[in-house]
């Protein structure tokens, strides 16, 4: 005897269904974006062709995508790592600036051969990001203070700190709002794409392996999914929270180091381009997967690059932001709908 139908949410979606849902959402978003552009009097087909050709039809476009992907992978990974234990690191922007600040201090004031300086800058970036998330981490671990607020507020402190030193104490006399060029730089291997790209991918894969195949990763995931059960099982919940959040901040700080050592080559205000906040969207689109962050960062880089290209074609910033938001919004909906299925209740 046939029964009624109901909508059932599964705890996880199969990779095939999730991929199909995301692809359908992106196609639907592009259709809606085309309709919006047509209503403004533009030719959506010509604009789409221009975007694809400018992004993938030349080495210059590919280089732009590669440069954008590097910080997006790192900041997205930073947010995704914190989500593994049920925490939200909204301060990747500030940790990005803190890592850039610490790395710039080494690159400007520590003498030595470039190879050694790069290594020191690498660890300075890690330490800078970890130090910047230390207070929110301890506040959450020992006083249960919401890390959403504390990490967010520290973003403004880090941004103002970098603005201050780059326009005052560390200012280059030949430039009003930037420091002198750093003494060491990450070498490039294809155009403007530097070795920070493989470093970012390797870091993401290492974190994915650590979370998937180590005892520490298993306990972190268990703490994130059921803290009470983990505590009952004798797992060090507080210690895992501290280590995960410090790792999250260190990764965001490393993003800042890679940006100034590989792309900008000097410390200045606005070096982030909101990479820390965009990393939140990258992590959400990746569903907190360390490997998925690589692909969602590539998608985000393409969206950002497309927005820049569309602005050169005469579209306003508001239109580009609307199209970008529509794509991200429908993609997030597609990811969520992939968890649902229609089930039949049998009598």
What is the per-residue burial (b if ≥16 Cβ within 10 Å, else e) of 143-164?
eeeebeebbbebbeebbeebbe
Query: Helix 134-143 to helix 114-132 angle, to the nearest 10 degrees?
Result: 30
So what's the pLDDT on residue 147? 94
- List the pLDDT tens digit at each of the 347 positions of the chain: 456 777 787 777 777 787 788 788 888 888 888 887 788 777 888 888 888 888 888 888 899 899 999 999 999 999 999 999 999 999 999 999 999 999 999 999 999 999 999 999 999 999 999 999 999 999 999 999 999 999 999 999 999 999 999 999 899 888 778 999 998 999 998 888 999 999 999 999 999 999 999 999 999 999 998 888 888 888 999 999 999 999 999 999 999 999 999 999 999 988 998 899 999 989 988 888 899 999 999 988 988 888 888 777 777 777 777 777 787 788 778 877 887 887 776 65
Q: Specify the pLDDT at position 126.
A: 97
pLDDT of residue 3: 60
The pTM is what? 0.90
Question: Residue 23: what pLDDT?
Answer: 80
Integer Cα distance of 325 and 317 in angstroms: 12
Look up the CATH number of domain 43-314. Answer: 1.10.3470
Q: How far is CA 32 from CA 19, 29, 39, 274, in A?
A: 20, 5, 11, 26
pLDDT for the residue numbered 330: 84
Residue 84 has a pLDDT of: 94
Q: Where are the domains of the chain?
A: 43-314
Residue 26, pLDDT score: 80
């Amino acid at each position: 005897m046939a029964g009624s139908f109901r909508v059932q949410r599964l705890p996880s979606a199969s990779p095939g269904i999730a991929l199909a849902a995301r692809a359908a959402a992106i196609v639907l978003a592009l259709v809606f974006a085309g309709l919006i552009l047509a209503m403004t009097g533009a030719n959506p087909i010509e604009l789409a062709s221009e975007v694809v050709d400018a992004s993938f039809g030349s080495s210059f476009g590919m280089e732009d995508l590669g440069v954008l992907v590097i910080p997006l992978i790192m900041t997205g990974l930073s947010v995704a790592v914190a989500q593994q234990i049920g925490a939200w690191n909204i301060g990747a922007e500030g940790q990005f600036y803190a890592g850039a600040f610490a790395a710039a201090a080494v690159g400007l004031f520590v003498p030595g051969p470039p190879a050694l300086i790069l290594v020191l800058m690498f660890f300075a970036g890690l330490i800078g990001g970890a130090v910047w998330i230390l207070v929110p981490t301890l506040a959450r671990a020992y006083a249960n203070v919401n890390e959403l607020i504390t990490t967010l507020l520290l973003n403004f402190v880090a941004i103002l700190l970098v603005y201050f030193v780059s326009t005052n104490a560390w200012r280059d006399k030949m430039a009003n709002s930037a420091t002198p060029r750093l003494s060491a730089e990450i070498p490039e291997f294809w155009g403007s794409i530097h070795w920070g790209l493989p470093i970012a991918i390797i870091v993401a894969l290492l974190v994915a392996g650590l979370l998937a195949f180590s005892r520490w990763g298993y306990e972190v995931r268990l703490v994130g999914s059921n803290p009470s059960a983990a505590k009952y099982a004798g797992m060090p919940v507080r210690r895992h929270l501290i280590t995960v959040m410090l790792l999250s901040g260190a990764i965001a700080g490393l993003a800042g180091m890679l940006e100034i050592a590989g792309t900008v080559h000097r410390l200045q205000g606005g070096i982030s381009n909101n990479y820390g906040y965009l990393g939140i969207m990258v992590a959400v689109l990746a569903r907190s997967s360390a490997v998925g962050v690589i692909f969602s960062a590539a998608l985000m880089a393409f969206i950002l690059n497309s927005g820049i290209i569309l602005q050169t074609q005469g579209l306003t910033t508001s239109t580009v932001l609307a199209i970008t938001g529509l794509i991200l919004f429908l993609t997030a909906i597609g990811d969520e709908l992939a968890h649902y299925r229609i089930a039949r209740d049998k009598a």
